[in-house]
Amino acid sequence: MKEESKRLSVICLVLVSILIILCAGSAEVAAQSSILSVDYRNLVSRADLTYDKPVPRSEEGLPVGNGRMGSLVWTSPSAMKFQINRVDVYANNSYTNSFNRRDWDYAFGCGYVDVDFVDFGEDVFPAERTIQHLSVYDALASVEGKGVRARILAWHARDVMAVEITDGRRQPTTINTNLRMLRHIAKSFPGQSAEYRVRQSSVVITKNHTATSKLHIRQGRIILTQEFEEGDYYCSSAVAIGILGRRSKAKIANVTEARLSAEPGKGSFTILIASAASFDRSEDVIAAALKNLEAAAAKGFEGLLESNKQWWHDFWSKAFIHLHSDDGSADFVEHNYTYFLYLMASSSRGRYAPRYGGMIWNTEGDLHHWGAQYWWNNMDFYYHGLFSANRLELMDPLFEMHFGMYDACAAAARQQWGSKGIFIPETVFFDGLAKLPEDIAEEMQELYLLRKPWSERSERFSDFAFSKHPHNGRWNWKDYGSWVDGRWVYTEKGQGPYGQCVHLLSATAKIAYLYWLGYEYTLDEHWLRERAYPMVKGAAEFYRNHPNVRKGPDGRYHIYFVNNNESWRGYRQDTMDEMASMHGILPAAIRASEILKVDAGLRPAWREMLDNLAPLPTTRDPETGLLRYRSHRPFYTFDLYTLETEDPEKVRLANATFFPQGTDAKREPHILDRTPIAAAMLGRSDIVKRWLPDQIRCLWPERDFCYFVQTGRTGVLANRMTLREGVNAIGAQRLGIIADALHLALCQSVPAGPGQDPVIRVFAAWPKEWDAEFTLLCRGGFLVTSSIKKGRIEFVEIKSQLGGECRLRNPWPDAEVTIYRNGKNWKDANGSLLEFETLRGDTVVVTSKGTSPAQFKRAIPGASEQ
């Protein structure tokens, strides 16, 4: 026994030693800058929201979420209000035949919650005595009214929101928490008629679709469940509410509302709002929600707050941007950038990505303009810039959602287009595209590939299309409609099989290229093999086998009869989006297959196609005669042009394309314009300086918003979001654009072309009037910290998280530099490109010769900025 005990002790000692070594190595890599000491609380708190009076509309409430569930928080004179939303609650999937009207499918909403402080008496949230605050650093909202206070959080670990109520009124009254159904009467957008038949208050039937809402009381808790059913499809959700620290009584108030009443009294108690959802009929969502509630109750509000602080403080320490300018413009951009990261961390950590319009912040039920599908052109705004922010976990929902529809998209490539690989349309349901009957698929190919005249489509095809959603990328030739003799009849857009999205193929490659970037930033070969490569290969094979991609008389591959984005439909040949997609995805597929040593037989076919691919389309300016690309979109999606590009013709064309737009002093930024991204990639600091703050301010909402009048003629809301997409479709797309452009202006890690080696370049497009400090992630896993003061770059610090060769453009191209490695003077170097090998955990600092990293050490933000 003694020998066995001794042997076990030695084993344990060895394991502990290994663990200590691993942890030490991890800590070394994750350590903060050796030069800049960042006060993250003061820095992040610059993005806080503070309201000195109640907001006039629910969409301006404070956002609180844990990435899976969330709500805006707003007030009425007597109550604090919420709408609980989840990223994984969908009323229907791609097989629905019940929502063939625009905007009429719905998702994400779970229930309304009102915390009502007054039955008879004075209002507690009057206009003159109500303060609301959102601490972005702690992810904690607070509301203070007349005699009452509340603190609100969403627990990161489980799907629970906690509301701590402190009643300091002289005569406390009963505080009622009311849980209400979202659907119990017919609802419609202004000017639209309802398509609902109400059988009873808790059941809403839309053609073949049923939405059932029920109220329950379990163990003194009130619960609202929803069940959505159509054919084989099923989704359910539950919201469960309990009170901690105060006696309470639960009851069903009426057919649509349950009430949990807290006994009157001074002091504090906590309301716990838990939720759960499932696509499995056998899963008990009530039990799941109650389990979440019990776990939260065991911690209490302070325990939940402490747990949240640990998670959020770690989140904020992963990277940062700090900006300052004398006119305050740079500071303004920084505040909005930090706030955008808060929004994404609050809404993008679930099984599915939040939808661009609504996210998890709906307040007017779960119907909203543009329905419940995903538009890639809009979703891209939120996600394209998150790699550099070093918050790769926020990309996971997007990646998992699209990978989860892989089989459906593979079937769509074959059925809809007669191709191989995968096809992801511009507009798509969360589960992809429905599998078609083979006869419908065969005719669809003939019609969509223009091999059969649209006028000759069969009655069978028309009947099948009748019940399909007009927003879906597959059926987007359908337009608006009207009631005719009691039957909903749609119109067509008048261009045969073309719609804004039917022949828009490029979303497939754009999404797949993000997976490739996921590998480039992490060098994770497991990720490349299991996730990225199947998507990249699928996109490459889709184009290679598409029947309308073929060689022309010039011996070049061309693509025929496709769209260019949504606006230009039915081009005969070579649209920019589609050609750029092929030029981008084929090199990525070749490089990925080489890294993984797979599909060697496919590489020659991809290479042959790439080598013989027609060039990106150009046009000639009628006034100047200058040749230029038809759009600047290739700049930012596929690395087709970067500041590392050496081909002088590409450089000339890229600049010729952008400059006529960028130099127009009268042109005001559109809220969704990618111009600042293209400007940053071209090194245009003048455009970056003007466009970033102006695009955040949203100068022309009457021009830029889809439903400006219907949404109350609003611009930027008090919570920095907008209703650009329409009723109940709140979002922050422009802030995602700003984040992407800001990263590129501060620190680029770009190759000369797709699949090539990246080079780091700091302050490539930075206004000399703006001071900046940052830590951002670069491709290859390099964490880069740098600063610029009064137009002078001070230092570049690079933490090598993975090891490997680092390539850095010399920030002082005409000067010699000194390179320090792990705190010691390593060597001097010169030249435009600095290249050096690193080991995992190395810290390398580069300064102009004659300066030392020590002279730049300081704390940020500075005292005057706090």
Taking CA atoms, 582 is separated from 162, 366, 410, 508, 647, in Å, by: 49, 38, 18, 11, 19
Closest CA to 170 of 270, 268, 265, 75: 265
Neighbours of 858 (CB within 10 A): 12
Quote the mean pLDDT of the chain: 91
Residue 794 lies in a domain: no
pLDDT tens digits, residue range 733-748? Answer: 999 999 999 999 999 9
For β-strands 782-789 and 771-778, DSSP reports them as antiparallel
3-state secondary structure of 206: strand
pLDDT at 626: 58
> Residues 4-22: what's their mean pLDDT?
37
Q: Where are the beta strands (DSSP E) in 580-675?
A: 618-620, 627-629
| DSSP assignment letter at 788 | E
pLDDT at 27: 31
> Residues 181-187: what's their mean pLDDT?
69
Give me the percent of the chain exceeding a pLDDT of 70. 91
DSSP 31-98: ---SSEEE-HHHHHHTT-EEESS--SSGGGSEEEE-SSEEEEEEE-SSEEEEEEEEEEEES--TT-SS
Amino acid at 121: G
| DSSP assignment letter at 505 | -
Give percent helix, percent strand, percent coil of the chain, each to the nearest 5: 30, 30, 40
pLDDT at 633: 67
In this structure, what token pair is assigned to residue 200?
Answer: 């009873």
Residue 792 lies in a domain: no
Answer yes or no: is pLDDT of 423 > 70: yes
pLDDT at 623: 59
Per-position b or e across 522-532, b if 16+ CB within 10 A of its CB: bbbeebbeebb
pLDDT: is 639 or 654 the higher one? 639
What does the chain come to in residues? 866
Rounded CA gap, 848 and 688, in Å? Answer: 26
> Residues 791-804: what's their mean pLDDT?
97
Answer yes or no: is pLDDT of 649 > 90: no
Answer yes or no: is pLDDT of 71 > 70: yes
Answer yes or no: is pLDDT of 23 > 80: no
3-state secondary structure of 252: strand
Give me the percent of the chain exceeding a pLDDT of 90. 83
The CATH number of residue 255's host domain is 2.70.98.50
Is the dihedral angle over the CA atoms 383, 389, 392, 393 positive or is it negative?
negative
> Residues 182-207: what's their mean pLDDT?
57
Residue 274 lies in a domain: yes
Is the dihedral angle over the CA atoms 327, 331, 336, 337 positive or is it negative?
positive
Looking at the DSSP bridge assignments, the partners of residue 272 are 162, 242
Residue 388 buriedness (CB in 10 A; 0-12 / 13-18 / 19+): buried
pLDDT at 636: 72
Closest CA to 367 of 92, 12, 140: 92
pLDDT: is 651 or 130 the higher one? 130
Helix (H) or strand (E) holding 452: none
> Residues 620-641: what's their mean pLDDT?
71
pLDDT tens digits, residue range 579-609? Answer: 999 999 999 999 999 999 999 999 999 999 9
Sorting pLDDT into bands at 50, 70 and 90, what band is 628? low
Sorting pLDDT into bands at 50, 70 and 90, what band is 622? low
Residue 133 lies in a domain: yes
**Largest Cα–Cα distance in the chain?**
94
The CATH number of residue 570's host domain is 1.50.10.10
Of the residues 561, 582, 615, the one at which a domain ends: 615
Contact 357, 731 (CB under 8 A): yes
Contact 377, 565 (CB under 8 A): yes
Residue 590 lies in a domain: yes
Answer yes or no: is pLDDT of 658 > 90: no
Contact 370, 501 (CB under 8 A): no
Taking CA atoms, 586 is separated from 58, 523, 550, 589, 601, in Å, by: 47, 19, 15, 5, 14
pLDDT at 120: 85
Sorting pLDDT into bands at 50, 70 and 90, what band is 865? low
Closest CA to 220 of 189, 251, 188, 180: 251
Range of 281's domain? 61-183+215-317
DSSP 723-785: -TT-TT--B-HHHHHHHHHHHHHHEEEE-SSTTS--EEEESTT--TT-EEEEEEEETTTEEEE
3-state secondary structure of 128: coil
Residue 696 lies in a domain: no
Of the residues 580, 597, 615, the one at which a domain ends: 615
Neighbours of 31 (CB within 10 A): 12
Rounded CA gap, 535 and 542, in Å? Answer: 10
Sorting pLDDT into bands at 50, 70 and 90, what band is 185? low
Rounded CA gap, 225 and 216, in Å? Answer: 8
3-state secondary structure of 527: helix
Give phi and psi for 158, each to the nearest 5: -140, 165
pLDDT tens digits, residue range 319-371? Answer: 999 999 999 999 999 999 999 999 999 999 999 999 999 999 999 999 999 99
Residue whose pair of structure tokens reads 């349950």 in the numeric block: 258
Answer yes or no: is pLDDT of 14 > 50: no
pLDDT tens digits, residue range 359-390? Answer: 999 999 999 999 999 999 999 999 999 999 99
Of the residues 282, 317, 352, the one at which a domain ends: 317
Residue 298 lies in a domain: yes
Contact 396, 756 (CB under 8 A): no
pLDDT: is 284 or 24 the higher one? 284
Residue 850 lies in a domain: no
How many domains is the chain built from? 2
Answer yes or no: is pLDDT of 494 > 50: yes
Contact 180, 111 (CB under 8 A): yes
pLDDT at 668: 78
Q: Where are the beta strands (DSSP E) in 485-599?
A: 487-492, 549-551, 557-564, 568-573
3-state secondary structure of 340: helix
Answer yes or no: is pLDDT of 197 > 80: no
pLDDT: is 674 or 287 the higher one? 287
Residue whose pair of structure tokens reads 């959802």 in the numeric block: 277
